[in-house]
Structure 1
Amino acid sequence: MAGTLCMLLLLTALTTPAYTARILGVAPFPAPSHQILLTSLFKELANRGHHLTVITPLPLKEGKPPNYVEIDTRVTHTPGFDVTNSCSPFFLGDSNNMFEVGEISPFMLFLMMWNMGPKILESTFENTDVQNLLHSKTEKFDLLITETFFNEAILGLAHKFNVPIISVCTFAGFETIGDAVGNPYPYSYVPNALTELNTHMSFLERLQNTLLNTYSNLGHYLYYLPKQNELLVKYFKDTTENLPYVDDLVKRTSLVFLNNHFSYSFPRPYVPNIVEVGGLHVKPAKKLPQDLQKFMDDAKEGVVYFSLGSNLQSSDLPEYTREAFLKAFSKLKQKVLWKFEADSLPGLPANVKIQKWLPQSDILGLLSTQEAIYHGVPLVGIPVFADQKNNVLKSEENGLAKLMEFQNITESSLDWVLNEVLNKP
């Protein structure tokens, strides 16, 4: 008896308690660059034993754990609005060319996003499976994890299920994101992410930064949040009681994950419940497909990888810009891998290989700035819209990249910048 008791005590001492949760994840913005960080977080939580229900317009194609359930919002019931191509109507009007976005001022870009966000969220709410979740009387969760990107009404889910909120910002963030947890945002040295400013601002630049942030704050609270509150009331008034104003829900945020890192960013103050998680999604490179591996192995002088990301298409480049790249690449002793979304490209040099899809995560990484740092690869950054220029400027200031203005791309300017990056470490 004594031996049995001792054995039980020993086994009790050796056991480790495991705490798992039912987590509701929401990633409504239909852009791969926004989904990458969130998907990596959700999959890792599932791999650690938590049960995930994820609302997303870009469901996983493979590698989905058994305790990972997705609500696919690609199919929408909002008339005239396609969530899988949601950016184009707001940024481009009747055009299909994202390169036109670069000429839009930060003031207009904020206005576009204030109108775009509610449309995307309304499309998400109209999804049949999301509607079933909103009206469920039996579903229970322990935590809501959601992207915070012009979608505040989604926090009605936290009120319905009475759960804490973790917000994930997939970029460095605006002032209003920090407002959720009372974070300061000094205009004197923290530049707005949509500007070309850095921490060494002149008086006029600080004035410019102050004006833009004042405009974004006024627009956010007086114009934009009322739109989100309308959605909150429309979709939650019949499914939950004592519904608060949308900004009161925002203030219930317990924790903010920020896709940023002090090592390559501008200095800024953070309260304890803002946590930088830049690079969270980065993983060691996997084995390449055989044809790509041979192409890279045969490149004795190295390889230049050229991609315009998930929101911009190389096939949409103006013809004169495309010709400039072809001529500049043809002079390189390195080989070039080019993510090009058409079947063919006239005048393709012998040292250039094009493919509609390339395993960028294994060649370089997925979110170009962070992966380039992780893999030790120098960058030539060509910012076109939103916070891209701010990101490239930070990288250039840290000696990680060279900035090439899109409107200044010529054969000679490409020759110069490629020589600077490839031959002058």
Structure 2
Amino acid sequence: MFKPKLNIIIITVLTGFSCNAPNAVAAGSRILGFFVTYSKSHMLLHCNVAEQLARVGHEVTVIGIIDNVYPNATYKYIHLQLPDGGILDDNALRSVINTRHSLVKSLIVTTGEYMRMANETMWQPTMREFLRENSANSFDLLLFGFVMNEFQLGLAAHFQCPIVVLWVVRPVLQVNRFIGNPLEMAYVPNLSSHLQQPFNFLQRVKNYVTAWMEFALMAYLDYRTQQLYE
């Protein structure tokens, strides 16, 4: 599977950035925020980062698939209208909610919908036109809202610019492998285990089991991503 060689930084709060000068606010940079998620709560956080950058003088463009969560923001907003309105498939979600499914099957259905949405985004006519009009050196930085859309990291290679990944909860396996964080399963709780330190023996076992479930999920996501390329 294609894996772009990118320098990636995971951040919670970003207050300023400049590719052109040591003083972040001395020279405005061209920044693209790519936030293709249906979740308004995610967009509130992502777009707040974009807005803070725009307020200190950077030229910020944000791409999203729902209505702008900050209508009076100073950044430029491009709304991509997906065929389904940018909402996860109701039938798929209703099946997860109303039918007794295992955790694994629920994760497969949900992540599959995220990936379908991400794929539709890349084929959306406005997005295709945007990519034709903007290529290498069009932007100095890409703010990337990560949500099971690993293949879209290739946008940084398209624009040939650094990338900053925004993730709204504590790191998971897929995020850890971007930046080389060790799992430390013996004492660091993973997102799926819902445990807190310190661990007793049985909690360590549970943490190991749920961590390996994440490995299985990542293998599935890699398989689905490869299908998108083919």
Per-residue deviation, 1:138: 5.7
1:216 aligns with 2:214: yes
1:72 aligns with 2:79: yes
Moved more, 160-169 or 110-119: 110-119
1:172 aligns with 2:136: no
1:133-175 per-residue CA deviation (whole Å, 9 max, x = no partner) reads 2223567111111111101121121011111110011111312
Q: Distance in 2 between matches of 1:16 and 1:111?
A: 42
1:46-97 per-residue CA deviation (whole Å, 9 max, x = no partner) reads 11111112111233252121xx222212x224xxxx243216443322x8xx
1:28 aligns with 2:36: yes
Task: Please give the secondary structure, in 1, of the residue aligned with 2:133.
Answer: coil
Moved more, 198-207 or 155-164: 198-207
Q: Distance in 2 between matches of 1:138 and 1:188?
A: 45
1:126 aligns with 2:123: yes
2:62 paired residue number: 54
**1:92 to 1:71, Cα distance in 2 relative to 1, 3 A:** same
> What pairs up with 1:94-113 in 2 under 5 angstroms?
105-113=102-110
1:24-48 per-residue CA deviation (whole Å, 9 max, x = no partner) reads 1111110112111101101111111
CA RMSD of aligned residues (A): 2.6
Any stretches of 5+ residues in structure 1 without a counterpart? 1-14, 235-425
> What pairs up with 1:238-387 in 2 under 5 angstroms?
none
Match among 151, 158, 177 for residue 153 of structure 1: 151
Q: Distance in 2 between matches of 1:152 and 1:194?
A: 20
TM-score (norm 2): 0.78
Give the number of the structure with larger relative contact order, counting CA–CA contacts within 8 Å between residues 6 or more apart: 2
Query: Could you tell me whether the CA contact under 8 Å between 1:118 and 1:151 is conserved in 2?
Result: yes
Q: Distance in 2 between matches of 1:89 and 1:154?
A: 26
TM-score (norm 1): 0.44
Q: Distance in 2 between matches of 1:33 and 1:137?
A: 29
Q: Distance in 2 between matches of 1:16 and 1:216?
A: 38
**1:208 to 1:50, Cα distance in 2 relative to 1, 3 A:** same
Letter of the 2:76 counterpart: V
**1:191 to 1:92, Cα distance in 2 relative to 1, 3 A:** farther
> What pairs up with 1:188-199 in 2 under 5 angstroms?
188-199=186-197
Q: Distance in 2 between matches of 1:17 and 1:150?
A: 33
Q: Distance in 1 between matches of 2:87 and 2:110?
A: 15
Query: Could you tell me whether the CA contact under 8 Å between 2:187 and 2:198 is conserved in 1?
Result: yes
Q: Distance in 2 between matches of 1:195 and 1:26?
A: 30
Question: Which structure has the larger Rg?
Answer: 1
Match among 80, 85, 88 for residue 86 of structure 1: 88
Query: Could you tell me whether the CA contact under 8 Å between 1:189 and 1:201 is conserved in 2?
Result: yes
Per-residue deviation, 1:16: 10
2:205 paired residue number: 207
Q: Distance in 1 between matches of 2:200 and 2:25?
A: 55
Q: Distance in 2 between matches of 1:57 and 1:197?
A: 34
Q: Distance in 1 between matches of 2:226 and 2:131?
A: 16
Task: Please give the secondary structure, in 1, of the residue aligned with 2:212.
Answer: helix
Letter of the 1:169 counterpart: W
2:19 paired residue number: none
1:43 aligns with 2:45: no
1:85-116 per-residue CA deviation (whole Å, 9 max, x = no partner) reads 216443322x8xx6x59x75543343233312
Size of the alignment, in residue pairs? Answer: 206
